[in-house]
Structure formats: structure tokens, C-alpha cells
């Protein structure tokens, strides 16, 4: 029984990080039909409301509004809304001065609440969303709305390119891996998650989410249940500063993970009814197993210790696990890339467990915080 538990969990860890991407690549190679209508089939550009939820963003909000107004998109078809979530600085004043069409001065209720409030009065056929510190390329909005020519598309996310400051955070390298998976998923069942920097939804399909939720993780699976696809548009590009330190990245992901299980369990992500089979396979492989990785690692470590007397193979597997942990610890003093990668992996995996611990101790999150060094 112990041996079976050990090998099942070990295989699942390897599968979610390595086996799943390989399977996606093979499936994509067999995919023959295009999943998105070609750009020239769009009869006309839709009207768009670009919503920027902001809390104490006086450092960047004027630049963000100017960036939005400079997009290569007809001015009469683009509305810019800044939804200030209880800002205590000059965010509201600066957004108005910069020329945002609507500025909502809302009480502090959280990012989702601010986005919901902005969406209520929005008139665009498409609702686009961005963070205050994310700057879009001039053609990003045109590229982002192209897939909506297909009436079965409900959600589209673009590509975030992180500017890499000097520091010890390897999030940029991991993000390249994640974007490759996103492109493969988009070509098959649809993306299983997006990002907050650049994405859009069909306004008629917009879902008002509870404050502990997030658009990034919730909208793709909710739309899949309604027969709408969530796609990735890699040519719709935004840039954003990356957290410079691994400690800062751990804190950022830990905050993100606090509300994770409210979405996975409370948000009924795991209710597999009404999912297309391929999307359900992607969701389990990429999301659920990834979020269970801390538990899987713990089970593998404990069972490995208990199995040490059952063969030399368990001595080797325990040595490999201890080498990973030792390499992660050594990376603080020896900045060798393999050691840094080990430290990044251990840190990010630990952030999932830390977020769950915070959720159990403090309850569901309401408000949101900016990551240090990203403005």
C-alpha cells in the first residue's frame, strides 16, 4: 500500500509538470481544424470598454490612461473606465486629469467588487480589463478582440511580457513555460487560466463573481460550462515589471493562493458536469494537480522514508528529494542556475501551502495588495 501511494504521487508530480505538456503537444499536432475565425472575417471592430481596477496607483495611473488612449483603436469605439477601490492617494484625481472617460471613486471592497461595479454601466460589446501597471502595445486591443468574431468565444487573454529587473526571481523563465502551455491549451479545449494584465470578455456573457474570487482562474472554467471558449491571443502584448526578488514573488503568490480553494471548491471548479471532455482533462492536469503538488510532495517524502528498507530504489529517490531541498537552500549562497531553479520550484510550491494555511487561519480574502517593486 505504501509503495503504491508513493509511486502514484510521484508519477502525478512528474505528469503535471512534464507529462502533461508533452501530451498537449502531441494532441495539438493532431489538431487540424482552426479554433479561431481568421482576422479578416471580422465585419467591423466591436465597441470596447477598457476597465482598470486600481487601489492607490498614483505612481502609474496617469501613464496607464495615456497608454490606453494611445491604442490603435477608433476613439469612438473605446471607453476607458478607472474603478478606484477605496484609494487613499491621488489615483482618482490623476485618472481624471489624464482623460479617463469614467472614474469611479468606490469604497474599499476589493478588486472583483470594483470590476463588477465598472461592468454594470459599461456599454461596450467587449469588456477589456487591465492592471494599472500593465502597458499595452499599440495594436494589443485589436489583436485581443479578433477572436470574438467567433460567437462561441467568451474570453480572450493576451500575452504578458515581464521586464526583468536585476534580482533572484526566475518567474520570467517559468512564465515562458506557462505561456507555451497556454498556447497549446488554447488550440485544444481552451485556456484553463488567464492573467490580470490583458484580457477581455464578451459583455453579454460577463459573470459577477464574489469578492474572494478572481477573473483569471474563474472565468475560463465558468464559460466552459456555458459552452463558451477561453482563448489565448499571443500577439496581444502587454508589459509589466516583475517582482525583483524571490522573496517578493513568494509573498505575491502566497496572497494569490489564499483565495484559491474558494474558487476550486466553493466556486465549483471541480464540478465536472457540463465541461467539454478535453477541457476537463486540461483543468485536472494543469490546475488541480498543480495545486495539489505540495501535498503530493509531502506524501512522497513521508512514504519514501517509511519504504527505505524495501530496496535500493527508495534510497535513490530519497536522495533525489533531499538533493532538491539542499540545492534550493544552497542557491542563497551559490547562484548557479540549476540551484536557483531548485529554489524557485521549492519556493513556489511552498507558496501554495502557505496560501492555504493563511486561508484556514484568516478566512476568505477581501481586499488586494500590490506586489512590491512592480510600479
Distance, in Å, from the CA atom of 268 to the CA atom of 263, rounded to the nearest integer, reads: 7
pLDDT of residue 42: 46
- Alpha-carbon distance of 307 to 168, in angstroms, equals 36
**Quick one: pLDDT at residue 63?**
97
Label the pairing between strands 199-202 and 126-131.
Answer: antiparallel
* Domains of the chain as residue ranges with CATH: 39-251 (3.90.550.10)
Rounded to an integer, what distance in angstroms lies between the CA atom of residue 239 and that of residue 73?
A: 19
CB distance 304 to 317 below 8 Å = yes
Shortest CA distance to 21 belongs to which of 194, 172, 174, 178? Answer: 178
C-alpha 48/C-alpha 78 separation (Å) is 5
Whether 135 and 21 have beta carbons less than 8 Å apart is answered as: no
Backbone angles phi, psi at 342, to 5 degrees: -65, -45
How confident is the prediction along the chain (375 residues), in pLDDT tens digits per residue?
Answer: 899 999 999 999 999 999 999 999 999 888 755 444 444 344 579 999 999 999 999 999 999 999 999 999 999 999 999 999 999 999 999 999 999 999 999 999 999 999 999 999 899 999 999 999 999 999 999 999 999 999 999 999 999 998 866 566 777 778 889 999 999 999 999 999 999 999 999 999 999 998 888 999 999 999 999 999 999 999 999 999 888 788 888 888 888 888 888 888 877 888 888 899 999 999 999 999 999 999 999 999 999 999 998 999 999 999 999 999 999 999 989 988 899 999 999 999 999 999 999 988 888 766 667 666 666
* CA proximity to 21, closest of 285, 305, 351: 285
List Cβ neighbours of 1 (8 Å cut-off, separation of 6 or more): none
Amino acid at each position: 500500500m505504501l509503495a503504491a501511494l508513493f509511486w502514484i504521487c510521484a508519477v502525478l508530480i512528474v505528469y503535471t509538470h512534464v507529462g502533461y505538456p508533452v501530451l498537449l503537444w502531441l494532441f495539438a499536432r493532431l489538431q487540424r481544424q482552426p479554433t479561431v475565425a481568421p482576422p479578416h472575417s471580422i465585419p467591423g471592430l466591436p465597441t470596447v470598454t477598457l476597465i482598470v481596477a486600481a487601489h492607490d496607483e498614483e505612481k502609474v495611473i496617469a501613464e496607464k490612461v495615456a497608454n490606453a488612449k494611445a491604442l490603435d483603436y477608433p476613439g469612438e469605439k473605446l471607453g476607458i473606465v478607472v474603478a478606484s477601490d477605496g484609494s487613499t492617494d491621488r489615483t482618482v484625481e490623476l485618472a481624471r486629469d489624464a482623460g479617463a472617460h469614467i472614474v469611479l471613486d468606490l469604497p474599499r471592497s476589493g478588486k472583483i467588487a470594483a470590476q463588477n461595479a465598472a461592468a454594470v454601466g459599461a456599454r461596450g460589446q467587449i469588456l477589456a480589463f487591465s492592471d494599472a501597471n500593465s502597458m499595452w502595445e499599440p495594436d494589443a486591443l485589436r489583436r485581443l478582440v479578433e477572436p470574438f468574431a467567433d460567437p462561441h468565444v467568451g474570453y480572450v487573454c493576451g500575452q504578458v511580457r515581464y521586464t526583468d529587473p536585476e534580482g533572484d526571481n526566475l518567474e520570467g523563465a517559468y512564465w515562458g513555460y506557462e505561456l507555451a502551455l497556454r498556447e497549446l491549451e488554447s488550440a485544444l479545449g481552451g485556456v484553463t487560466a488567464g492573467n490580470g494584465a490583458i484580457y477581455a470578455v464578451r459583455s453579454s456573457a460577463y459573470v459577477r463573481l464574489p469578492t474572494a474570487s478572481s477573473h483569471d482562474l474563474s472565468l475560463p472554467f465558468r464559460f466552459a460550462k456555458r459552452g463558451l471558449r477561453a482563448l489565448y491571443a499571443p500577439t496581444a502584448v502587454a508589459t509589466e515589471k516583475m517582482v525583483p526578488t524571490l522573496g517578493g514573488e513568494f509573498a505575491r503568490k502566497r496572497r494569490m493562493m489564499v483565495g484559491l480553494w474558494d474558487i476550486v471548491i466553493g466556486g465549483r471548479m471541480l464540478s465536472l458536469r457540463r465541461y467539454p471532455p478535453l477541457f476537463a482533462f486540461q483543468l485536472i492536469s494543469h490546475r488541480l494537480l498543480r495545486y495539489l503538488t505540495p501535498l503530493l510532495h509531502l506524501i512522497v517524502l513521508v512514504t519514501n522514508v517509511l519504504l527505505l528498507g524495501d530496496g535500493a530504489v527508495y534510497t535513490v529517490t530519497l536522495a533525489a528529494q533531499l538533493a532538491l531541498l539542499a540545492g534550493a537552500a544552497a542557491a542563497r549562497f551559490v547562484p548557479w542556475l540549476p540551484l536557483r531553479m531548485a529554489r524557485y520550484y521549492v519556493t513556489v510550491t511552498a507558496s501554495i501551502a502557505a496560501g492555504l494555511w493563511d486561508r484556514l487561519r484568516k478566512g476568505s480574502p477581501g481586499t488586494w495588495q500590490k506586489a512590491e517593486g512592480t510600479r
